[in-house]
A and B are shown apart, each in its own frame.
Chain A
Amino acid sequence: SQQGEEDPQALSIQEGENATMNCSYKTSINNLQWYRQNSGRGLVHLILIRSNEREKHSGRLRVTLDTSKKSSSLLITASRAADTASYFCATALNTGGFKTIFGAGTRLFVKA
Protein backbone atom coordinates (compact mmCIF):
# COMPACT_ATOMS: atom_id res chain seq x y z
CA SER A 1 0.00 0.00 0.00
CA GLN A 2 1.08 3.58 -0.53
CA GLN A 3 2.64 5.91 2.00
CA GLY A 4 -0.19 8.38 1.73
CA GLU A 5 -3.67 7.00 1.44
CA GLU A 6 -6.74 9.20 1.29
CA ASP A 7 -10.10 8.26 2.69
CA PRO A 8 -12.77 8.21 1.41
CA GLN A 9 -12.02 7.52 -2.24
CA ALA A 10 -15.09 9.51 -3.23
CA LEU A 11 -17.38 11.94 -1.43
CA SER A 12 -20.62 13.55 -2.56
CA ILE A 13 -22.17 16.37 -0.56
CA GLN A 14 -24.61 19.25 -0.95
CA GLU A 15 -23.45 22.79 -1.44
CA GLY A 16 -23.03 24.49 1.92
CA GLU A 17 -22.07 21.31 3.77
CA ASN A 18 -18.61 20.63 5.12
CA ALA A 19 -16.32 18.10 3.46
CA THR A 20 -13.73 16.14 5.39
CA MET A 21 -11.01 14.06 3.78
CA ASN A 22 -8.42 12.02 5.60
CA CYS A 23 -4.89 10.96 4.80
CA SER A 24 -2.89 8.27 6.54
CA TYR A 25 0.79 7.58 6.14
CA LYS A 26 3.29 5.06 7.37
CA THR A 27 6.72 6.61 7.94
CA SER A 28 8.10 9.73 9.56
CA ILE A 29 7.47 12.89 7.56
CA ASN A 30 9.01 16.33 7.20
CA ASN A 31 5.76 17.89 6.03
CA LEU A 32 2.42 17.02 4.51
CA GLN A 33 0.73 18.89 1.72
CA TRP A 34 -2.72 18.94 0.21
CA TYR A 35 -3.36 19.56 -3.46
CA ARG A 36 -6.48 20.02 -5.56
CA GLN A 37 -6.88 18.79 -9.12
CA ASN A 38 -9.72 19.87 -11.30
CA SER A 39 -10.66 17.52 -14.11
CA GLY A 40 -8.07 17.56 -16.88
CA ARG A 41 -5.82 20.03 -15.09
CA GLY A 42 -2.63 19.98 -13.08
CA LEU A 43 -2.45 19.81 -9.31
CA VAL A 44 -2.69 23.04 -7.37
CA HIS A 45 -1.00 23.38 -4.00
CA LEU A 46 -3.50 24.22 -1.27
CA ILE A 47 -1.73 24.07 2.05
CA LEU A 48 1.37 22.67 3.71
CA ILE A 49 1.66 21.60 7.31
CA ARG A 50 5.01 20.82 8.87
CA SER A 51 5.64 17.92 11.21
CA ASN A 52 5.88 20.23 14.24
CA GLU A 53 2.49 21.84 13.52
CA ARG A 54 -0.89 20.48 14.51
CA GLU A 55 -3.34 22.69 12.67
CA LYS A 56 -3.35 25.24 9.86
CA HIS A 57 -6.03 27.35 8.28
CA SER A 58 -6.31 28.94 4.89
CA GLY A 59 -9.62 30.56 4.04
CA ARG A 60 -12.26 27.80 4.14
CA LEU A 61 -9.60 25.11 4.51
CA ARG A 62 -8.52 23.61 7.78
CA VAL A 63 -5.81 20.98 7.98
CA THR A 64 -4.87 18.98 11.02
CA LEU A 65 -1.91 16.71 11.53
CA ASP A 66 -1.58 14.01 14.16
CA THR A 67 1.92 12.59 13.95
CA SER A 68 1.22 10.05 16.69
CA LYS A 69 -1.52 8.54 14.55
CA LYS A 70 0.27 9.31 11.30
CA SER A 71 -2.78 10.96 9.89
CA SER A 72 -4.03 14.27 8.55
CA SER A 73 -7.41 15.64 7.68
CA LEU A 74 -8.55 18.33 5.29
CA LEU A 75 -11.77 20.12 6.11
CA ILE A 76 -13.47 22.32 3.55
CA THR A 77 -16.18 24.38 5.19
CA ALA A 78 -19.30 25.67 3.45
CA SER A 79 -18.55 23.76 0.26
CA ARG A 80 -19.32 25.25 -3.13
CA ALA A 81 -19.93 23.59 -6.47
CA ALA A 82 -16.57 24.99 -7.56
CA ASP A 83 -14.88 22.83 -4.91
CA THR A 84 -15.72 19.77 -7.00
CA ALA A 85 -12.30 18.24 -7.71
CA SER A 86 -9.90 15.53 -6.63
CA TYR A 87 -7.87 16.20 -3.51
CA PHE A 88 -4.48 14.64 -2.91
CA CYS A 89 -2.27 14.47 0.11
CA ALA A 90 1.48 14.36 -0.40
CA THR A 91 3.96 13.39 2.28
CA ALA A 92 7.55 14.57 2.22
CA LEU A 93 9.48 11.85 3.98
CA ASN A 94 11.95 12.66 6.70
CA THR A 95 14.70 10.59 5.14
CA GLY A 96 16.41 13.32 3.19
CA GLY A 97 16.51 13.31 -0.56
CA PHE A 98 13.42 13.86 -2.61
CA LYS A 99 10.82 11.46 -1.47
CA THR A 100 7.46 13.17 -1.72
CA ILE A 101 4.75 10.57 -2.14
CA PHE A 102 1.28 11.32 -3.42
CA GLY A 103 -1.81 9.38 -2.50
CA ALA A 104 -4.44 8.25 -4.98
CA GLY A 105 -6.78 11.08 -4.03
CA THR A 106 -10.33 11.71 -2.87
CA ARG A 107 -12.85 12.70 -5.51
CA LEU A 108 -15.19 15.34 -4.09
CA PHE A 109 -18.48 16.17 -5.80
CA VAL A 110 -20.41 19.14 -4.48
CA LYS A 111 -24.00 19.25 -5.68
CA ALA A 112 -25.54 22.66 -6.25
Chain B
Amino acid sequence: NAGVTQTPKFRVLKTGQSMTLLCAQDMNHEYMYWYRQDPGMGLRLIHYSVGEGTTAKGEVPDGYNVSRLKKQNFLLGLESAAPSQTSVYFCASSYSPAGERYYGYTFGSGTRLTVV
Protein backbone atom coordinates (compact mmCIF):
# COMPACT_ATOMS: atom_id res chain seq x y z
CA ASN B 1 0.00 0.00 0.00
CA ALA B 2 1.98 3.00 -1.29
CA GLY B 3 -0.39 5.72 -0.02
CA VAL B 4 0.33 9.02 -1.79
CA THR B 5 3.20 9.16 -4.25
CA GLN B 6 4.61 12.39 -5.64
CA THR B 7 6.94 12.79 -8.59
CA PRO B 8 9.46 14.26 -9.04
CA LYS B 9 11.06 14.70 -5.61
CA PHE B 10 13.34 17.55 -6.69
CA ARG B 11 13.34 19.94 -9.59
CA VAL B 12 15.14 23.11 -10.60
CA LEU B 13 13.42 25.32 -13.15
CA LYS B 14 14.43 28.48 -14.91
CA THR B 15 12.06 31.42 -14.74
CA GLY B 16 9.40 31.06 -17.40
CA GLN B 17 9.69 27.31 -17.78
CA SER B 18 6.73 25.03 -17.23
CA MET B 19 6.38 21.75 -15.44
CA THR B 20 3.82 19.33 -14.05
CA LEU B 21 3.91 17.70 -10.65
CA LEU B 22 2.20 14.35 -10.42
CA CYS B 23 0.36 12.97 -7.41
CA ALA B 24 -1.01 9.44 -7.28
CA GLN B 25 -2.95 7.77 -4.47
CA ASP B 26 -4.01 4.16 -4.15
CA MET B 27 -6.48 4.48 -1.27
CA ASN B 28 -9.55 5.24 -3.37
CA HIS B 29 -9.86 8.63 -1.71
CA GLU B 30 -12.32 11.04 -3.25
CA TYR B 31 -10.59 14.22 -2.08
CA MET B 32 -7.17 15.41 -3.11
CA TYR B 33 -5.24 18.57 -2.33
CA TRP B 34 -2.12 20.46 -3.31
CA TYR B 35 -0.32 22.51 -0.66
CA ARG B 36 2.84 24.53 -0.66
CA GLN B 37 5.05 24.84 2.39
CA ASP B 38 7.24 27.86 2.93
CA PRO B 39 9.43 28.54 5.97
CA GLY B 40 7.49 29.93 8.91
CA MET B 41 4.16 29.94 7.06
CA GLY B 42 2.72 26.51 7.52
CA LEU B 43 0.96 24.82 4.62
CA ARG B 44 -1.16 26.83 2.23
CA LEU B 45 -3.79 25.25 0.02
CA ILE B 46 -3.28 25.84 -3.70
CA HIS B 47 -6.06 23.79 -5.31
CA TYR B 48 -8.18 20.85 -4.34
CA SER B 49 -10.51 18.30 -5.90
CA VAL B 50 -13.64 16.68 -4.52
CA GLY B 51 -13.71 13.92 -7.09
CA GLU B 52 -12.73 12.81 -10.56
CA GLY B 53 -13.17 15.59 -13.08
CA THR B 54 -13.56 18.35 -10.47
CA THR B 55 -11.13 21.00 -9.25
CA ALA B 56 -11.41 24.14 -7.16
CA LYS B 57 -9.21 27.01 -6.05
CA GLY B 58 -7.69 27.16 -2.62
CA GLU B 59 -5.97 29.94 -0.77
CA VAL B 60 -3.09 30.63 -3.18
CA PRO B 61 -4.11 29.42 -6.68
CA ASP B 62 -2.50 32.09 -8.85
CA GLY B 63 0.15 30.77 -11.22
CA TYR B 64 -1.00 27.16 -10.89
CA ASN B 65 -3.42 24.90 -12.70
CA VAL B 66 -4.63 21.43 -11.80
CA SER B 67 -6.40 18.50 -13.38
CA ARG B 68 -8.07 15.38 -12.00
CA LEU B 69 -8.80 13.23 -15.03
CA LYS B 70 -8.58 10.01 -13.03
CA LYS B 71 -9.66 9.50 -9.45
CA GLN B 72 -6.23 8.34 -8.35
CA ASN B 73 -4.24 11.16 -9.96
CA PHE B 74 -4.05 14.89 -9.26
CA LEU B 75 -1.71 16.98 -11.40
CA LEU B 76 -0.35 20.41 -10.52
CA GLY B 77 0.95 22.53 -13.37
CA LEU B 78 3.10 25.61 -13.44
CA GLU B 79 2.74 27.27 -16.82
CA SER B 80 5.41 29.94 -16.40
CA ALA B 81 7.49 29.42 -13.29
CA ALA B 82 8.50 32.39 -11.14
CA PRO B 83 11.05 32.57 -8.30
CA SER B 84 8.14 33.16 -5.89
CA GLN B 85 7.04 29.62 -6.62
CA THR B 86 10.18 28.20 -5.07
CA SER B 87 8.74 26.02 -2.34
CA VAL B 88 8.08 22.50 -1.18
CA TYR B 89 4.87 21.13 -2.67
CA PHE B 90 2.80 18.51 -0.93
CA CYS B 91 -0.07 16.48 -2.24
CA ALA B 92 -2.59 15.03 0.18
CA SER B 93 -5.72 12.97 0.00
CA SER B 94 -8.60 12.17 2.31
CA TYR B 95 -11.64 9.95 2.39
CA SER B 96 -13.86 12.91 3.16
CA PRO B 97 -13.23 16.53 4.12
CA ALA B 98 -14.77 16.43 7.54
CA GLY B 99 -17.36 14.70 9.65
CA GLU B 100 -17.56 11.27 11.18
CA ARG B 101 -15.86 9.53 8.30
CA TYR B 102 -12.92 11.89 8.25
CA TYR B 103 -9.69 10.66 9.70
CA GLY B 104 -7.22 13.25 8.51
CA TYR B 105 -5.08 13.67 5.47
CA THR B 106 -2.51 11.31 3.99
CA PHE B 107 0.41 13.27 2.60
CA GLY B 108 2.98 12.52 -0.04
CA SER B 109 6.67 13.02 0.67
CA GLY B 110 6.83 16.32 -1.21
CA THR B 111 8.48 17.91 -4.22
CA ARG B 112 11.20 20.46 -3.58
CA LEU B 113 11.04 23.00 -6.40
CA THR B 114 13.57 25.75 -6.98
CA VAL B 115 12.96 28.42 -9.61
CA VAL B 116 16.04 30.38 -10.61
**Which positions in A face B, CB cutoff 8 Å?**
2, 4, 30-31, 33, 35, 40-45, 48, 88, 90, 92, 97-98, 100-105
Contact = CB atoms under 8 A, between A and B. Distances in A.
B42 to A, nearest CB: 4
A104 B40 CA distance: 5
B110 A42 contact: yes
A88 B50 contact: no
Q: Majority SS of interface residues in chain A?
A: strand
Contacts of B107: 35, 42-45
A98 B31 contact: yes
B97 interface: yes
Contact of B90 (A31, A43, A98): A43
8 contacts: A31-B102, A35-B105, A41-B110, A43-B90, A45-B103, A98-B50, A100-B105, A102-B35
Contacts of A102: 35, 42-44
A36 to B, nearest CB: 11
A88 B104 CA distance: 13
B114 interface: no
Contact of B48 (A88, A98, A103, A105): A98
B104 A45 contact: yes
Interface of B: 4, 31, 33, 35, 40-45, 48, 50, 56, 58, 90, 92, 97-99, 102-110
Q: Which 10 A-B pairs have the closest CB atoms?
A: A45-B104, A42-B107, A102-B43, A102-B42, A104-B42, A43-B107, A42-B109, A30-B98, A92-B98, A98-B97
A88 B43 contact: yes
A44 to B, nearest CB: 7
Nearest to B105: A45
A92 B97 contact: yes
Nearest to B108: A42
B19 to A, nearest CB: 20
Contact of B41 (A35, A97, A100, A104): A104
Contacts of B45: 98, 100
Nearest to A41: B109
